[in-house]
Chains A and B, each alone.
Chain A
Amino acid sequence: MTTHKGKVVELESAVIRFAGDSGDGMQLTGNLFSDSTAFAGNDFATFPDYPAEIRAPQGTVSGVSGFQIRFGANDIHTSGDRADVLVAMNPASLKANLKWVQSNGIIIVDTDAFTEKNLAKAGYETNPLEDGSLNGYLVVQAPISTLTKEAVKEMALDNKSAMKSKNMFTLGMVFYMFNRDYKKTFSFFEQKFKKNPVIVEANKKVLEAGYHFADTLEVFANTFKIEPAPLNKGRYRNITGNLATSWGILAASERSGRNVFLGSYPITPATEILQEIAKHKQFQAISMQMEDEIGGVVSSIGASFAGALAVTSTSGPGLSLKSEAIGLAVMTELPLVVINVQRGGPSTGLPTKSEQSDLMQALYGRNGEAPVVVMAAKSSADCFYGAFEAAKVAMEHMVPVILLTDGSIANGSEVFKIPRVADLPEIHPPIVKANDPNYAPYKRDAEKLSREWALPGTPGLRHRLGGLEKEDITGNVSHDPLNHQKMSYLREEKVERVANYIPDLEVEGDEEGDILVVSWGGTYGVMLTAVEELRAEGKKVSLAHFRYIKPMPKNTAEVLSKFKKIIVCEINLGQFVNVLRMTFPQFSYRQYNKIQGLPFMVNELKDQFNALLNE
């Protein structure tokens, strides 16, 4: 490794944001930096921020793609509020991202891209590199395009191919800043471009050139180092929420002995789940890309009837389309996992932005009294356990389960401690044995109220299911008024009794105090960070984060009763807070809501809580 001329400054944590045109390869750059961060032993969390268009008009603000990573020597729960380092590949990405940079942050720009034309496209009237608007920041001006071309000039590469590797030049520069071993990334190039050795060489050369170029810069008076985080013993990997969700389903399949059947339809930001399951037929996991969202869920219900671990994956608009079919799963009392990766709505809304606005839809968005279990994963890595538990509950309780994740945790990634499948809870679906003389289609387990799963093909258990109301025990079609009332209560009670099988609501911090902060789903990391920071200042603030929403943990009322004030924070207009108001009207609730397609920031949350403390 090159010897650094400056001194090495040690940091607790840092935030880097890579930004460029959507074709500039910023997501790849970010992911490679994440891998390197993992090797360095830091804890981290990432957040990709990309446009809905595949290639929006080049050089425009709407086409800017970003990737943020926060990494540190301690537990990291969020991808960070503001960036310490911004890499801006063109004027548009500077314009779109400057507001996310710390006031004294470092900005690395490709000066070659700051042409009059590009400045105009980005809507700059004057060049921000010259007009003083970046005073206060440490701006690193580097002719990245020229230097990239220079690095590969002796290779037989056309201009376009050469330019494609300029993201690696910036990665090299950032590696230098954080004292990373850039050679560890070479094996990635060898894998990714193994059919094209010239491209492998070019990327290596450009990465190396970026690293050494940074070494020559006077502006880098020092470089940074972040000590490894004190993670528990074990094997770790980086994982995105969608990957974790897919693997959680596969693990549940192995643990239950039921083949996965995923009936789905491509929709942002849930598509990766369908793509991932499609890769794993070796586990007898079947994915069907159906003709529409309805075909997706309905084929899964058919597969569930046939005995599969039935799953459908979607995002908000798709969940709307699946509503009627989820009602069929409620009526037929078949296990079904519905994964809803929430995005901004209504209608097409903000496909690539995150929101928590499908909670009411998940709870109530069906005709009739149609209760289902609703739960929400709290982080990218927790998607693994969320999906596993959803599958376990669905099969053991013979009930549809809606698992809510969201665009932020689905596309974001974090460090994941790899479990052993054998250490995960067992799953025992209530499958009926052949010729069971006591079998009746709607006979129920005394504790769970679940009916049994009699698989077609099994001798002695022929029966009919369907969407018409069922007679208690026999499952025959029934229009009897009292039977309908009884069955409506039974379906509701069956879902409520899931509460006997889920963990209690945990409180992060003291179990009583001035403020209880309440949250659910993918906001956990930022909520926890804000609460921990206030607690470190001696404030009596605690966090109760919900993973199960229907049913809620049995100790919910007890937890809520121990605090002077309760504030419920959500990325919507206040859906869960209203569920709480309805369920536990004895408490009074404040709410903090944000609906900008953006995650909460630690500082805005702390401001809210401090204001509430001072009231």
Chain B
Amino acid sequence: MESKIQTQPVKLSKEDFESDQMVKWCPGCGDHAILRSVEAVFPVVGEKLNLNKEDFVVVSGIGCSSRFPYYMNTYGIHGIHGRAAALATGIKVANPKLNVWMISGDGDSMAIGGNHFIHVARRNVDITYLMFNNRIYGLTKGQYSPTTFKGQKTKTSPQGVFEQPFNPGELVIGSRGKFFARVVDTNPKLMQKVFVEAAMYRGASIVEILANCVIFNNKIHGDITGRDTKADNQLILEAGKPMIFGKENNKGIVLDGTRLKVVTIGEDGVTEDDILVHDPTTEDAGIHMMLASMMTPEFPVALGVIRATPFQTLNDAVWESVEHEKEVSPYKNVDDLLNSGNTWEID
């Protein structure tokens, strides 16, 4: 990692990033909590990476979530539908010193921007990608998205959705992405912890945020976030820790043959030693994929950093190549190039 030594780093605060623009999300929308968490995290990231407040750039596509850049006091660009990943790629590769955050939704990322999504993951561009997944088109007022569950009735699926949904984590890993995390909008502490880890990871850190659309898809994540059900339906992963969850903190995940299984510690001779220990850093994505795929009611939903495998970033690869070419190229300037190869002089 390049050193960013600065003699007197400016101490940043949450207020440094708060915008004076009116936030126009619906009252009760999950996006408010995400905004507050991001505002809280920027000073932390700034301090860890020795950044000035001007080094942050927030990029978005189109949709409710994508209004985000207007609500942050940073450099920002609100792009066009689905294309924020390409914008972010251009910004980061053109100036790798910038700390680029990308905000998108399930429609923006999984439908119209699906192509850019898989390629930004594959390229491992060093950005932090927050994908708000409320499983609905909110800004256009309630049409099904590529993450809406099969059978759900929406304005454009009056007979129920015929299609199966994407699981964003599967898509990230299937695209050979190196970082995937999942959080819920109801847990700011976890959001902040994961956002910092995502920002510190060098590469495309994609975070799925299960967000609630209070108007068009209220409580769609209710079984995961509900006060009474969340303990049994959330597995909060931590590196090096066993995958234990549940109201009684006695349920765990084991590998049973080739698939995962929920067991209860103390039943059928199961002890804590039998429970899988989370390792987000393995290149082998087998367990990561299975964790990302877990769904209620059979399984708890995996939260936290599921995968974080070291890999060269695209921006590093490009700029290392630039430095190399400067050394080996016979052309020191454009005049050299124009005069290269077959030329002739007329006197």
Which residues does A use to contact B, with CB under 8 Å? 35, 38-39, 41, 231-238, 247, 250-251, 253-254, 259, 261, 263, 280-284, 286, 288, 290-292, 294-296, 298-308, 310, 324-325, 327-328, 332, 418-422, 455-468, 476-477
Residue B326 at the chain A interface, CB threshold 8 Å:
yes
Asked if residues B335 and A302 are in contact (CB atoms below 8 Å), the reply is no
Asked if residues A306 and B98 are in contact (CB atoms below 8 Å), the reply is yes
Asked if residues B94 and A467 are in contact (CB atoms below 8 Å), the reply is no
7 tightest A-B contacts by CB? A302-B90, A466-B78, A282-B329, A299-B90, A303-B94, A298-B86, A456-B75
Besides the known contacts A295-B86, A462-B75, 10 further A-B residue pairs in the complex with CB atoms under 8 A apart: A35-B342, A235-B339, A253-B334, A282-B322, A299-B90, A305-B90, A328-B80, A455-B95, A457-B55, A466-B77
B47 to chain A, nearest CB (A): 17
Asked if residues A466 and B70 are in contact (CB atoms below 8 Å), the reply is yes
Knowing A38-B344, A295-B116, A302-B59, say if A259 contacts B339 (CB, 8 Å): no
Residues of B within 8 A of A302 (CB): 59, 77, 86-92, 94
B residues 324-347 touching A (CB-CB < 8 Å): 324-326, 328-329, 331-335, 337-339, 341-347
Instruction: Sample 27 A-B pairs with CB under 8 A, ordered by A number.
Output: A39-B342, A233-B346, A233-B347, A235-B343, A236-B345, A237-B343, A261-B93, A281-B318, A281-B329, A283-B333, A294-B83, A295-B116, A298-B87, A299-B86, A299-B87, A301-B79, A302-B87, A303-B91, A303-B94, A325-B80, A327-B80, A421-B333, A457-B75, A462-B73, A462-B74, A465-B77, A466-B69
Asked if residues A332 and B77 are in contact (CB atoms below 8 Å), the reply is yes
Residue B21 at the chain A interface, CB threshold 8 Å:
yes
B residues 64-115 touching A (CB-CB < 8 Å): 69-70, 73-80, 83, 86-95, 97-98, 115
Residues of B within 8 A of A38 (CB): 342, 344
Asked if residues B76 and A236 are in contact (CB atoms below 8 Å), the reply is no
Which residues does B use to contact A, with CB under 8 Å? 21, 52-55, 57, 59, 62, 69-70, 73-80, 83, 86-95, 97-98, 115-116, 118-119, 318, 321-322, 324-326, 328-329, 331-335, 337-339, 341-347
Asked if residues B115 and A291 are in contact (CB atoms below 8 Å), the reply is yes
Residues of A within 8 A of B344 (CB): 38-39, 41, 235-237
Docked pose: A164 CA to B321 CA in angstroms: 36
Asked if residues A457 and B322 are in contact (CB atoms below 8 Å), the reply is no
Asked if residues A263 and B86 are in contact (CB atoms below 8 Å), the reply is yes
CB nearest neighbor in A for B24: A477
Knowing A294-B83, A419-B338, A457-B95, say if A306 contacts B90 (CB, 8 Å): yes
Residues of B within 8 A of A325 (CB): 80, 83
Residues of B within 8 A of A234 (CB): 345-346
Asked if residues A232 and B346 are in contact (CB atoms below 8 Å), the reply is yes
Knowing A247-B338, A286-B93, say if A292 contacts B322 (CB, 8 Å): no
A293 to chain B, nearest CB (A): 11
Most buried by A among B95, B119, B321, B334: B334
Residues of B within 8 A of A283 (CB): 331, 333-334
Asked if residues A231 and B94 are in contact (CB atoms below 8 Å), the reply is no
Asked if residues B116 and A250 are in contact (CB atoms below 8 Å), the reply is no
Most buried by A among B98, B332, B346: B346
Residues of A within 8 A of B337 (CB): 247, 250, 280
Asked if residues B76 and A467 are in contact (CB atoms below 8 Å), the reply is no
B57 to chain A, nearest CB (A): 5
Residues of B within 8 A of A467 (CB): 62, 78-80
Most buried by B among A233, A282, A466: A282
Docked pose: A410 CA to B230 CA in angstroms: 63
Docked pose: A463 CA to B75 CA in angstroms: 5
Residues of B within 8 A of A455 (CB): 95
Asked if residues A286 and B94 are in contact (CB atoms below 8 Å), the reply is yes
Residues of B within 8 A of A236 (CB): 343-346
Docked pose: A463 CA to B341 CA in angstroms: 46
Docked pose: A230 CA to B90 CA in angstroms: 47
Docked pose: A250 CA to B73 CA in angstroms: 35
Docked pose: A463 CA to B78 CA in angstroms: 11
Asked if residues A462 and B54 are in contact (CB atoms below 8 Å), the reply is yes
Docked pose: A612 CA to B283 CA in angstroms: 74
Residues of B within 8 A of A422 (CB): 335
CB nearest neighbor in A for B69: A464
CB nearest neighbor in A for B82: A294
Docked pose: A231 CA to B339 CA in angstroms: 17
Docked pose: A316 CA to B83 CA in angstroms: 21
Residues of B within 8 A of A237 (CB): 338-339, 341-344
Residues of B within 8 A of A296 (CB): 86
Asked if residues B342 and A238 are in contact (CB atoms below 8 Å), the reply is yes
Asked if residues B75 and A418 are in contact (CB atoms below 8 Å), the reply is no
Residues of A within 8 A of B92 (CB): 302
Asked if residues B342 and A418 are in contact (CB atoms below 8 Å), the reply is no
CB nearest neighbor in B for A285: B322
Asked if residues A284 and B89 are in contact (CB atoms below 8 Å), the reply is no
Docked pose: A308 CA to B329 CA in angstroms: 22
Docked pose: A327 CA to B83 CA in angstroms: 13
Asked if residues B346 and A231 are in contact (CB atoms below 8 Å), the reply is yes
Most buried by B among A458, A460, A462: A462
Asked if residues A306 and B70 are in contact (CB atoms below 8 Å), the reply is no
Docked pose: A589 CA to B52 CA in angstroms: 60
B31 to chain A, nearest CB (A): 17
A417 to chain B, nearest CB (A): 9
Knowing A282-B325, A295-B115, say if A421 contacts B335 (CB, 8 Å): yes
Docked pose: A305 CA to B93 CA in angstroms: 12
A271 to chain B, nearest CB (A): 19
Residues of B within 8 A of A253 (CB): 334
Most buried by A among B92, B95, B97: B95
Residues of B within 8 A of A280 (CB): 325, 329, 331, 337
Asked if residues B321 and A324 are in contact (CB atoms below 8 Å), the reply is no
Knowing A234-B346, A294-B83, A466-B69, say if A263 contacts B54 (CB, 8 Å): no
Q: Contacting B94 at CB < 8 Å: which of A238, A294, A308, A332? A: A308
CB nearest neighbor in B for A327: B80
Docked pose: A88 CA to B344 CA in angstroms: 31
Docked pose: A298 CA to B115 CA in angstroms: 13
Residues of A within 8 A of B321 (CB): 281
Residues of B within 8 A of A461 (CB): 54, 75
Residues of B within 8 A of A303 (CB): 90-91, 93-94
Docked pose: A75 CA to B65 CA in angstroms: 61
Residues of B within 8 A of A458 (CB): 54
Knowing A237-B342, A298-B83, A461-B54, say if A259 contacts B77 (CB, 8 Å): no
Residues of A within 8 A of B346 (CB): 41, 231-236
Docked pose: A525 CA to B132 CA in angstroms: 56
Docked pose: A350 CA to B169 CA in angstroms: 42
B339 to chain A, nearest CB (A): 6
A125 to chain B, nearest CB (A): 45
Asked if residues A477 and B70 are in contact (CB atoms below 8 Å), the reply is yes
Residues of A within 8 A of B87 (CB): 298-299, 301-302, 305
Asked if residues A305 and B77 are in contact (CB atoms below 8 Å), the reply is yes
Docked pose: A420 CA to B338 CA in angstroms: 9
Docked pose: A327 CA to B81 CA in angstroms: 12
CB nearest neighbor in A for B324: A281
Docked pose: A294 CA to B81 CA in angstroms: 11
Asked if residues A324 and B94 are in contact (CB atoms below 8 Å), the reply is no
CB nearest neighbor in A for B323: A281
CB nearest neighbor in B for A297: B86
CB nearest neighbor in B for A294: B83
Docked pose: A611 CA to B338 CA in angstroms: 44
